[in-house]
Structure 1
Amino acid sequence: MSTKWGRPSLVGMVAVVALLAGACGDDSKNSGEAKTSVGDVAGLPVTHFESGLKPDAPKPQLNVRNATDSEEDKIAIASIADVSEYWTQELPAHFGMPFEPVKELMSYDPSTDTDEACGTSVKEAAMNAFYCPPEDLVAWDRGQLLPMLRTEFGPMAIVTVLGHEFGHAVQYRLGEKAGMSKNVATIVKEQQADCFTGGYFRWMAEEKSKYFRVSTSEGLNQVLASLFFIRDQAGQSSKEKGAHGTAFDRTYAFQLGFEKGAKECAGINQQNIDARITEQPFHKGDKGKGDERLDMKLIGHLQTSLDKAFEGAGAQAPKIVDEGGVCPGGPQTPPASYCPDSNTVSIDLNALSQIGRTGDRKAEFQGEDPGGLGDFAALAEVASRYTMGIQKGVGASLDNDNAGLRTSCLVGAWAAASNRPGANLRLSSGDLDEAIAELLMPKSVIAADVNGKQVENGFERVESLRKGYMEGSTACTQQYG
């Protein structure tokens, strides 16, 4: 976040919260009224099992140049066979046209192979997978990219990347039916491909795949984590050639496809992207390039921002205090805890400062600890505990899954409000990605109840944050009770 180009005063700040009183009740008594059944993922049950290739998966009958017996190639080739089967069903059913298989497939190791694809040596395509329209070719780096994805995120990360590239091949086939032309911006193509990948994973999650099984908890978490990893660098504009989107944008597109299917994906265009895309360059006054030093001065700005944002909620605002991140005789969710007895948010400033350090993207790509997640990841943790005090003040329950999702949603609503004119804190490019990174951490409290019990699947956690950001706080109470 940035305080450098937002005014310290809050004159003109618009409150984000429509009155919560009356919309929030005791979830144990009114759980049947919630429109979302906590414990399902877009209508599918929450499942827990090892995701990946089925033990009895058939051997794909595909001709792949340079294919090896490596586990990465086995997963990649099965992915191509599987997603081809998906589109063989999907294109006739929803687009009225037959599926034509991709003409050429290629696996390569940029450190040893000398092949060319799309007129370029594969040595220049390290850490990459791509679709080449002139050759109707899907290719992938088995030497560096796929092993890293499998090691860091699990096998479904490989399936995600290949599903995405195959989505580009489908765009090429759909043409005008997907709004494709020479003048279509890269971001439109990439958002569509992410969305197509979501539709494919829904099909897989419905147990229609011969090759793979994916759980809606840990398995989809692998997918979301890989989409976070392949996000664009903070500060990039969505107008740039080659823009793919932030992690926030990419997970939105994936979840859209998962929830609504490939036909909805084909309707993604520049107009509806411009209405929601978050990828933007750094503001010219953002001297910290997105991150501020986490100290009590910044916490003071956070307190003011939250107080103003929730002033219409009809609840007494909790105070943020540096008292170790725990509550005496109460909830213990360090580095930030909501203490109901004193209506305070106890923080451990030193621990939050470690989370709030600027991440090292180079280390991240090398599979090393990036060091920190960024200031917004830490501030969102504190904001989540603050919203507990607001929810308590209006009689909402604080100790169940609905409370966790409602909390994350309200954090998203506050984040959107911080973009309003006159705010003392403003979102910087990359801030929402920092929140997603923290949301996917096993001990994050952004989408957790007052005792730190986290909603078990990342799909719902990310979706709830986005819902608040895009639809406001009223949607939080309507959706999560």
Structure 2
Amino acid sequence: MSHTARSRGALAGLVTLGVLATSACSYVVVGTPSSQGFPSQSVDEGTLQIVGAGDGPIDALSRNALADLETYWSDTFPTVYGESFPPLTGGYFSVDPGDVDPSAYPDGIGCGTDPRELENNAFYCSAQGVPNSDSISYDRAFLGELASQYGEVLPQLVMAHEFGHAVQARVGYPSTSIATETQADCLAGAWTAWVADGNGEYASVDTADLDQLLRGYFLLRDPVGTGSGEQQAHGSYFDRVSAFQEGFDDGAEACRDGFGPQRIFTQGEFTTDADFASGGNAPFGQTEEILAASLPEFWDRAFTEVLGAQFTEPQLESSDSPPDCASADVALVYCADGGDGAGLVAYDADFARTAYDLGDFAVVTGVAIPYALAARDQLDLSTDDGEALQSAVCLTGWYSAQVYNNQLDSVRISPGDIDESVQFLLEYGNDPDVLADVELTGFQLVDLFRAGFLDGAANCGVDG
């Protein structure tokens, strides 16, 4: 993110935002597996066989997820695609690449792959004329590392994503790798919502799992600066989380219909040496200058072009302690009776520097939330209740979309900026020391941001 000057267009909601012969979803995870407890209920091995599976909890979790995935898609596929779901013919394969017994895999794993080549990976094989086609293979040690860091829902998510590729193999793949991978995320989200509603016989997901799941997606994104057209592109953090939530909120029909050529992806490629060197981040001081310039620019235009009102810039202040007008000792504040008549938006300087560790746009995202409360105040809307906070997060998504679309004169987007918004909301959005009286999960906060980013003011509880 940096200062820039550009010709402007009208503000609007942003339009709605792989698989090869082998759908290889490669990840690298750093961490030490911890011991995992067995799920309370487990599928009998005779009911669903996984070649090479051991007697540990990761294979039990995977088997549970796969059993419920078979049930879900058997029930859902006819409604969404108009025909019965053909079961996978190639089966399932579990591998610990560091301890392989070749005799357990006489024909290799999916696509005849040597099981020792599966390290830090899981994939669906759709190739024809090779051993073990139409199958899912996974590194159970890798899934153990995911579970040790982000809970038992992450191995289930990997199964759901790969099963999404099996669905695509039956109905056709999108035209690009990034669309293929994010559609599989969407299909995984649809299944996860079904489980969260209590429909799964073996798998389970609760509210805390959803926040952990979104945090886990950070490990599964492409490196910042990867182009969206890369052959194995999987998507940015926001692209993948957004796709998952789309399926979770709107079901498999949305996944079927929403991943055509017109879908927009936030993943972008670094184009300058400076971006490579900085990771796309402006220095902290410049970040403060950008938010001080871009937030009033956005809201002045939003009021004039969309909301039919006149915006008065509130006072913006960075301080070492909350202002006297603040009702609570929190890092991000809006005071209607502060400033010089238009309200006061204040942020704690030390907190801002801590948030900057996530990236420059994390800081901007945080300050944009109380700034949106100032805008609501000028529209004679509430600023101190749950509805106000939900609206402010959504409006922050709208602002971020305009930054992403290069619609503001004062700021230029960099690859990874929108990912930093997701990180901020998951890390700090429901911290009572950051925003007062937050009673929303990280999952809900990201979903609100996504709604504003994709559809603009229409979803944010303001006119326009």
Count how many residue pairs are aligned between Structure 1 and Structure 2: 414
Matches within 5 A, 1:380-399: 380-399=365-384
Matched with 1:219 is: 209
Work out the CA distance in 1 between the residues paired with 2:179 and 2:53: 32
| Structure 2 CA distance for aligned equivalents of residues 125 and 333 of structure 1 | 50
Q: Aligned in 2, Cα 1:303/1:188: closer, same or farther, shift over 3 Å?
A: same
Cα separation, 2, equivalents of 1:301 and 1:96: 51
Pick from 185, 210, 230: which aligns with 2:176? 185
Measured in 2, the distance between the counterparts of 1:241 and 1:321 equals 46
Give TM-score, length-normalised by structure 1.
0.79
Alignment match, 2:425? 439
Matched, 1:124 2:103: no
Q: Distance in 1 between matches of 2:194 and 2:332?
A: 39
Partner of 2:322 in structure 1? 326
How far 1:14 sits from its partner (Å)?
5.8
TM-aligned CA deviation for residue 93 of structure 1: 3.3
The alpha-carbon distance between structure 1 residues 337 and 286, as it changes in their structure 2 partners (threshold 3 A), is: farther
With the length of structure 2 as denominator, give the TM-score of the two structures. Answer: 0.81
- Please tell me whether the aligned partners of residues 14 and 417 of structure 1 are also in contact (alpha carbons under 8 angstroms): no
Query: CA deviation digits over 1:448-479, x for unaligned, max 9?
Result: 99952224233321121122222223431259
Amino acid at match of 1:165: E
Paired with 2:117 and 2:239, the residues of 1 have a C-alpha distance of 27
2:134 alignment counterpart:
136
The one of 336, 340, 343 aligned to 1:340: 336
- How far the C-alpha of 1:315 sits from its partner, in A, is 3.9
* Runs of 4+ with >4 A deviation: 11-18, 448-451
User: In the alignment, what sits opposite 1:299?
Assistant: 288
What corresponds to 1:26 in structure 2?
Answer: none
Match of 2:266 among 278, 293, 300: 278
1:172 is aligned to 2:165: no
**Amino acid of the structure 2 residue aligned with 1:200:** W
Deviations 1:85-133 (A, max 9, x none): 1111122333233333322211111222265433543333322111111
Any stretches of 5+ residues in structure 1 without a counterpart? Answer: 19-51, 358-372
Structure 1 residues 403-437: Cα deviation after superposition (integer angstroms, max 9, x where no partner): 11111111111112223356221221111111111
- 1:404/1:455 contact within 8 Å kept: no
Q: Which sections of structure 2, spanning at least 5 residues, go unmatched?
A: 14-36, 103-107, 128-132, 304-308
Q: 1:298 to 1:208 in 2, by over 3 A?
A: closer
- Aligned residues: percent identity? 30
Q: Write the mapping of 1:398-409 to structure 2, written as runs, cut at 5 A.
A: 398-409=383-394
**Cα distance change on mapping 1:186 and 1:310 into 2, 3 Å:** same
Query: Are the aligned partners of 1:248 and 1:278 in contact in 2 as well (CA < 8 Å)?
Result: yes
Give me the whole-angstrom Cα distance separating, in 1, the residues matched to 2:258 and 2:298: 32
Alignment-derived partner of residue 199 in structure 2: 208
Q: How does 1:24-423 map to 2 (within 5 A)?
A: 55-60=40-45, 61-102=47-88, 103-113=90-100, 115=102, 116-117=108-109, 118-134=111-127, 135-143=133-141, 145-175=142-172, 180=173, 184-215=175-206, 217-273=207-263, 276-284=264-272, 287=275, 288-295=278-285, 297-311=286-300, 312=303, 313-332=309-328, 334-342=330-338, 343-357=343-357, 373-418=358-403, 419-421=405-407, 423=409
Q: Which moved more, 1:163-172 or 1:323-332?
A: 323-332
Distance 1:439 1:422, change over 3 A: closer
